[in-house]
Amino acid sequence: MRILFLGDVVGRTGRETVVAELPKLRNALALDLIIVNAENASHGFGLAPDMAENLFKAGADVITLGNHAWDRKEIVPYIADHPRLIRPLNYPPGTPGAGAVVVEIQGGRKALVAQALGQLTMEPQLDSPFFGTREVLARHRMGGTVNAVVLDIHAEATSEKMAYAHSFDGQASLIVGTHTHCPSADGQILPGGTAFQSDAGMCGDYDSVIGMLKEGSTMRFWRKMKGERLGPAEGPATICGVFAETDDTTGLAKRIEPLRLGGRLKPAMPAV
């Protein structure tokens, strides 16, 4: 199975670039499963239903959210009716939506996609992402009920992401970090056969401060005052993500490679 996971989509330029390029990427890489993190798609804060629809139409099989899941209130009724849009699984019981979904792809194969939200410097009051993920994986086994498992760990601390990945090594095809918006260079296959990268990066303008306008973001560090609400940078976007290829029988990874397309960063395109 060929899987593409795209990092946090930020603002209009990120959305439009991803929507334009996704169909081309599916064809060029012969992709079976596309997952997009879109929690910053609406002006950097949240996701609106029409934006989700455009991403699905462009080819996203699953959309994940994160700590900005509820910034656009219109997403609450939408997520209840659209199971392929998921939010972190460790939100309290009764939270709208779900933290995991099983999708069927070409050839009758199935893939589990789940997301967990980190606690370290993020949301310490939430349930543990480790115990919640363990419960989900207990219901779905690679090589049994599903052919592949992809986990999105939306967290600030690299240490928490790495600990999470090692905890579930061998139980997932791909574990990828989101939230920090900077693509990490640690893509690897762990000893148990799980592909891992600490952060997929973002799909947005890298002439920015993690996708937001430089001026206001920089002044927050100089003046120690929040000031005006930040807005997304709207220059040319770089699409950043992680490509993984898995064995359909075991679900384990055969390779992992970065993807970077357009914008300012050095290009990287997986070989087919």
- Which residue numbers are catalytic? 68
225's CB contacts (< 8 A; 6+ apart) are: 219
101, burial (CB in 10 Å: exposed 0-12, middle 13-18, buried 19+): buried
Residues 105 and 148: beta-carbon distance below 8 Å: no
Element (H, E) at 241: strand 239-246
Q: How many CB atoms lie within 10 A of CB 38?
A: 28
As a whole number of angstroms, the distance between CA 82 and CA 139 comes to 21
The letter for the amino acid at 173 is: S
As a whole number of angstroms, the distance between CA 28 and CA 197 comes to 22
11's CB contacts (< 8 A; 6+ apart) are: 40, 41, 43, 44, 204, 205, 211, 231, 232, 233, 234
